[in-house]
Structure 1
């Protein structure tokens, strides 16, 4: 039975007259009488006594009236709960992404949120993990995807995936699919600054092997590093997501390391200093879902579930 018919019946009983109820509802009296007949046919009982003075409920009608009011109240409460939930999901959520992870996460995240939750104002900041860590620690970001094995001070962290760092060279470099780590000693390496996560992993691996890299340029710019390598100015270390587009187009060559795992963990971090909101929680949950989908697709070499 439609709830509007329950409302019609309650209004008729409250008014004590079908004509007055029809006027209040903005309906023609014959139309309202027809709706009443449908209700009585549905419950297989006479619900109203009709007289010249108006209408009064029968014993069955009184029972039906009480139950109808309960149902209508519950329906209104349900609507109010939904409205409150939708309103609580509104607001601005700022998220920081390092360049490589952004290539995997950003577009699917935007697509999902704009489709299902357009009331959330998503603000995306893209940059190096070290800079994003500082911004998150100062409360400038609600959420950050960072290259972190453990949670930074003042933050909670959930691992999204683990990824290998690869040797990136110019087109036709002849690297093959894999090279030993000491290859970097004989190549002009163009790397980010020492605070960068890829640089930290590279320096640690080289120190463990007693290998010294031939560092020709340091640049904290992903675009500059990739463009310079494309033009044959040197080699660099990056993850597959950061170079997938260029590698698939033949603009860069990619090789894994045969004798060392240069790996880092990608984590979803939320600062303690920024209060949790339903909107922030939803964005974080969506990022985790996008990451899980990317892992399931298996299209990114060297990307796997975090150990």
Structure 2
């Protein structure tokens, strides 16, 4: 077993195809297949199940994949650590973004890296805050944006900004300035909310429990874009931060009304591993991400 074999195996597993992985890795497909076969021979197991449409991981393959990803990440971090001793912002960094942040920040992040960190390689993944925390804890993500983080000894958080939550409804003609909506009125409305693990859902459930009330949940949908589509079509109301509406690109289709309770705010933080040293690349990426969030998300939250 060697690093080349592990790297080839991981890429084939991720692409689900030898031919696609060969193109991605810029190696001949027979050479790629041979290295994976050697790995299977060495371990005396079948790692990949060949199908008519590509390949699937076997149970042994799934176990090796997790080990291989961790090993390759450790090697990458070792290289970055050596570069860090020279003060160079080089290497690969993986940044995790919530979906709404991904739509708003992906292009600015890529442009900022090209301008300020040309020797670094950037990868961006999207997921809910809970997923990003898990990925940071396991080493799959280096830096992430998360909403309303719980205490976790595996990560360190840096507060970026707070956004007030608003009731989001379908727009009906010209927008009028509305008085803040009390929580006692909010619970009477049919709501389209994300699953219970979502930060905003947990915040609303907690507030309802403290007030002895129950939310009127019409639909439970994970995707913010799907939530907004249901709201736009008149199937209910949502509770979101202004930046989510700005990122949708359909701000005129919705009407936002502030909530009266000041505790109903979404706190956005950056998160990193508590157990890994901060490399020059991580420090500079953290600075760039914070600047982009404050200028982009903060500006969206400040709009009426």
- Give matches, 1:58-73, under 5 Å: none
C-alpha spacing 1:289/1:198, structure 2 compared with 1 (3 Å)? same
- Please give the root-mean-square deviation of Cα atoms over the aligned residues, in Å: 2.9
Deviation for aligned residue 1:135: 1.4
Provide the residue aligned with 1:95 in structure 2.
95
Q: Determine helix, strand or coil for the equivalent of 2:252.
A: coil
CA distance in 1, matches of 2:198, 2:217: 15
Unaligned runs of 5+ in 2: 1-82
Kindly report structure 1 stretches of 4+ aligned residues shifted beyond 6 Å. 83-87
1:198/1:179 Cα in 2 relative to 1: closer, same or farther (>3 Å)? same
Q: Specify whether residues 149 and 245 from structure 1 end up closer, same or farther in structure 2 by C-alpha distance, changes over 3 A only.
A: closer
Q: What is the match of residue 244 of structure 2?
A: 242
2:216 maps to 1:214: yes
Q: Distance in 2 between matches of 1:86 and 1:163?
A: 39
Go from structure 1 to structure 2 and tell me whether the alpha carbon gap of 1:272 and 1:149 turns closer, same or farther (over 3 Å shift). Answer: closer
1:292 and 1:254, CA in 2 relative to 1: closer, same or farther beyond 3 A? closer
The equivalent residue for 1:127 is: 127
TM-score by length of 2: 0.64
Q: What is the TM-score with the length of structure 1 in the denominator?
A: 0.63
Change in Cα spacing, 1:199 to 1:281, as seen in structure 2 (3 Å) is same
Looking at structure 1, the residues matched to 155 and 247 of structure 2 have their Cα atoms a distance apart, in angstroms, of 32
Matched residue, 1:48: none
Quote the offset at 1:288 in angstroms. 2.1
Alignment partner, residue 191 of structure 2: 189
For structure 1, list consecutive stretches of 5 or more residues without a partner in the other structure. Answer: 1-82
SS of the counterpart of 1:300?
helix
- In the other structure, the counterpart of 1:144 is 144
How has the CA–CA distance of structure 1 residues 250 and 86 changed in structure 2, closer, same or farther, with 3 Å as cutoff?
farther
Q: Which residue of the other structure, out of 216, 219, 225, is the alignment partner of 1:223?
A: 225
8 Å Cα contact 2:103-2:247 kept in structure 1: no
Contact 1:143 1:268 in 2 (8 A): yes
For residues 132 and 158 of structure 1, the distance between their equivalents in structure 2, rounded to whole angstroms, comes to 15
User: Deviation digits for residues 153-186 of structure 1, max 9, x if unmatched?
Assistant: 2111110111111111112298853322122222
Q: In the alignment, which residue of structure 2 is the partner of 1:168?
A: 168
Aligned mates of 1:175, 1:207 — CA distance in 2: 31
The equivalent of 2:43 in structure 1 is: none
